[in-house]
Amino acid sequence: MDKKFLPRRDPPTPAAPATAPKPGAPHPATESGWLPDCVYTGEKFEVGLAFFSDALGRITRFSREPADLAAARRLAGQAALPGLVNAHSHAFHRVLRGRTERLVRADRDPGNGWREAHDRVVGMISAEDVFDAARMVFMEMLLSGITCVGEFHYLQQRADGTAWPERNFLAQEVMRAAHEVGIRIGLLQVAYARADYRSEVGSVPGPFFTGSVDQSLRDAEALRTMAAKNYAADEVWTGVAPYSLGAVPLDQIKALAAYARSHRLRWHLHVATRAEEAAACTAEYGRTPIALLAEHGLVDKRFTAVDAIHLTDDDVRLLGAARAIACACPITGHNLGLGVAPFEKLLAAGAGVALGTDSAVQVDLLKDARLLEYERRLARRPRSGLTTDPATALFHAATVAGARSLGATGGALEIGRPADFFTVSLHDPSIAGADAETLLASIVFALERRAIRDVWIGARQRLSNGRHALHGPIVGRFVDGQRRLWASA
Ligand SMILES: [Zn+2]
């Protein structure tokens, strides 16, 4: 293994931070090329390799030709990796950070305390707050190397429960926030019909309620056509997401999954989040959640089971046989005391495993990845035999599997895929001294977010020397909004 990319000199002096082009800037008119010290091309880092993209920002070639190496933009002291894909986010949860950590309820259950704060904020949050929080959290994603997000959007109505004149207004605001920040977004339009299993449609608080099956389908179609008309198809697109089996009756879930299939969209569902869910589902339908979905032909490659924590071995087999995806959200799972998805069992069965930042209590997908592995180690579960190299498996989850879950074009630096990548400083104390063989494990298990230098999406630079061009306005607006929002609480 070639180790010559190890930096031997002092790191280059960082350029002034405001050099990043404004998000929304057009693609470069001609070919772009980059030459980092090393580039991750899938399972290994390669040294002395430049890569190039066309005017549409798609990778066209890799080269070691001296003329190409000379022509490419030199990224000295840096390694380039494919952009991370965050398969599950609730952007507006960003307003709750730090405000749910006191265990004030008698039961000391962090999940119940979080739910109380969440329900309070839903009753007072404005459209402006939603937009500002989305910009804030999407910028944080770029700062952590994420280039594509799956936004599971379930805040559909006004805080008082009445509908917006344009029913998809808030979803459109979240799309606009992503576009301004410059991150790719698959917006998963949520249906939310009732409070829980065996309750009536309409029993859910007004801000979430999305109405009948027909209304949900009309809303999904209106949002899909709006996105197609206003944005590039690989930058902003839609999917559908019944909130959960408790929140949406089975007939409505079947209709939404059929709609997704007919339009070649992805569909996501919170499932097996809590241990009690299996009993509640069995009481209504006579089956556990995954068994019920499989029985109705709903578990397939387009399906992502979000959370997927309390799975039986049969559930794991069903997800694996269908090549479905489970999205684990370990930081949130730890924060709320929920647990994490059985990563290795799912992989061994043939299912994909993606990662999500979920409640945005902390935005760091690599930390999510390492928590999955640490959970297994703490529980002293034996290895399934599939993943003797957890760093590679976890990085795959944070990239390739996430892209598959969302139907996104990125996830790997390959010819034909977009030039979506982030760079890390090889001089950063958290990973300094790594060689080609140990660099990925160093990044997955130890990288500090500050080591992330540049982020490029479709060959357009979104982060330069760890800073976004709109950093000041995004943070400033968010801070003002937080002050206003919580003053009224
Ligand atoms: Zn969630």
Centroid of ligand 1 to alpha carbon of 376 (angstroms): 22
Centroid of ligand 1 to alpha carbon of 307 (angstroms): 7
Beta strands 59-63; 84-89: pairing state: unpaired
Centroid of ligand 1 to alpha carbon of 388 (angstroms): 30
H-run or E-run covering 483? helix 471-487
Centroid of ligand 1 to alpha carbon of 368 (angstroms): 14
Amino acid 113: pLDDT = 79
Q: Considering the domain 17-83+411-473 in this protein, what is its CATH number? A: 2.30.40.10
CA atoms within 13 A on the CB side of 252: 27
Centroid of ligand 1 to alpha carbon of 268 (angstroms): 10
Centroid of ligand 1 to alpha carbon of 410 (angstroms): 22
For residue 78, the SS3 value is strand
Whether the CA torsion 331, 332, 336, 338 is positive or negative: it is negative
Q: Are 330 and 375 in contact (CB under 8 A)?
A: yes
What are the φ/ψ torsions at residue 358 (nearest 5 degrees)?
Answer: 50, -105
Centroid of ligand 1 to alpha carbon of 329 (angstroms): 8
Q: Are 355 and 327 in contact (CB under 8 A)?
A: yes
pLDDT digits (tens, 9 = 90+) for 416-454: 999 999 999 999 999 999 998 999 999 999 999 999 999
Centroid of ligand 1 to alpha carbon of 358 (angstroms): 5
pLDDT digits (tens, 9 = 90+) for 348-370: 999 999 999 999 999 999 999 99
Query: Does 27 have pLDDT greater than 80?
Result: no
Centroid of ligand 1 to alpha carbon of 293 (angstroms): 19
Amino acid 43: pLDDT = 78
Q: How confident is the model at residue 203 (pLDDT cuts 50, 70, 90)?
A: confident
Query: Does 257 have pLDDT greater than 60?
Result: yes
Centroid of ligand 1 to alpha carbon of 160 (angstroms): 23
Q: What is the mean pLDDT of residues 388-405?
A: 95
Calpha distance 130→416 (Å, rounded): 35
Calpha distance 223→265 (Å, rounded): 13
What are the φ/ψ torsions at residue 468 (nearest 5 degrees)?
Answer: -95, 145
Q: How confident is the model at residue 116 (pLDDT cuts 50, 70, 90)?
A: confident
Amino acid 488: pLDDT = 74
Q: Are 326 and 353 in contact (CB under 8 A)?
A: yes
Calpha distance 200→462 (Å, rounded): 46
Q: Are 167 and 222 in contact (CB under 8 A)?
A: yes
Tell me which residue has tokens 């949860």: 93
Centroid of ligand 1 to alpha carbon of 198 (angstroms): 21
Q: How confident is the model at residue 259 (pLDDT cuts 50, 70, 90)?
A: very high
Q: What is the DSSP letter of 28?
A: P
Domain ranges of the chain: 17-83+411-473, 84-406
Of 272, 302, 276, 306, residue with least CA distance to 289: 272
Calpha distance 81→401 (Å, rounded): 15
Centroid of ligand 1 to alpha carbon of 360 (angstroms): 10
Centroid of ligand 1 to alpha carbon of 292 (angstroms): 21
Amino acid 59: pLDDT = 97
Centroid of ligand 1 to alpha carbon of 41 (angstroms): 31
Centroid of ligand 1 to alpha carbon of 99 (angstroms): 18
Instruction: Supply the mean pLDDT for the chain.
Output: 91
Centroid of ligand 1 to alpha carbon of 101 (angstroms): 18
- Sequence-distant (6+) residues with CB within 8 A of 91 are 130, 133, 134, 137, 138, 151, 153, 174, 177, 360
Integer CA distances (angstroms), 341 to 35, 365, 372, in order: 37, 15, 8
Centroid of ligand 1 to alpha carbon of 138 (angstroms): 16
- Sequence-distant (6+) residues with CB within 8 A of 437 are 1, 3
Give me the percent of the chain exceeding a pLDDT of 70.
91
Centroid of ligand 1 to alpha carbon of 152 (angstroms): 7
Centroid of ligand 1 to alpha carbon of 7 (angstroms): 41
- Sequence-distant (6+) residues with CB within 8 A of 438 are none
Amino acid 22: pLDDT = 54
Centroid of ligand 1 to alpha carbon of 235 (angstroms): 22
pLDDT digits (tens, 9 = 90+) for 269-281: 999 999 999 899 9
Query: Does 198 have pLDDT greater than 60?
Result: yes
Residue 190, sorted as left (phi over 0), alpha (psi -120 to 50) or beta, turns out to be beta
Give me the percent of the chain exceeding a pLDDT of 90.
78
Centroid of ligand 1 to alpha carbon of 31 (angstroms): 39
pLDDT digits (tens, 9 = 90+) for 373-385: 998 888 776 666 5
Amino acid 21: pLDDT = 46
pLDDT digits (tens, 9 = 90+) for 35-47: 999 999 997 999 9
Centroid of ligand 1 to alpha carbon of 62 (angstroms): 38
CA atoms within 13 A on the CB side of 278: 12
Centroid of ligand 1 to alpha carbon of 29 (angstroms): 39
Centroid of ligand 1 to alpha carbon of 267 (angstroms): 14
Query: Does 246 have pLDDT greater than 60?
Result: yes
Q: How confident is the model at residue 60 (pLDDT cuts 50, 70, 90)?
A: very high
Query: Does 12 have pLDDT greater than 50?
Result: no
Domain 84-406: give its CATH superfamily.
Metal-dependent hydrolases (3.20.20.140)
pLDDT digits (tens, 9 = 90+) for 317-349: 999 999 999 999 999 999 998 889 998 899 999
Spell out where 300-350 has E strands: 303-307, 325-328
**How many Å separate Cα 182 from the centre of its chain?**
15
Centroid of ligand 1 to alpha carbon of 89 (angstroms): 7
Higher pLDDT, 207 or 63: 63
Give the pair of three-digit tokens for residue 114: 């979080």
Query: Does 399 have pLDDT greater than 50?
Result: yes
Give the pair of three-digit tokens for residue 184: 């790719």
Tell me which residue has tokens 């104390």: 429
Residue 204, sorted as left (phi over 0), alpha (psi -120 to 50) or beta, turns out to be beta
DSSP code per residue over 149-163: EEEEE---S-TTSPP
Centroid of ligand 1 to alpha carbon of 163 (angstroms): 23
Give the pair of three-digit tokens for residue 313: 């071995």
Calpha distance 328→371 (Å, rounded): 10
Calpha distance 439→435 (Å, rounded): 6
Centroid of ligand 1 to alpha carbon of 38 (angstroms): 35
Centroid of ligand 1 to alpha carbon of 111 (angstroms): 13
Q: Are 74 and 5 in contact (CB under 8 A)?
A: no
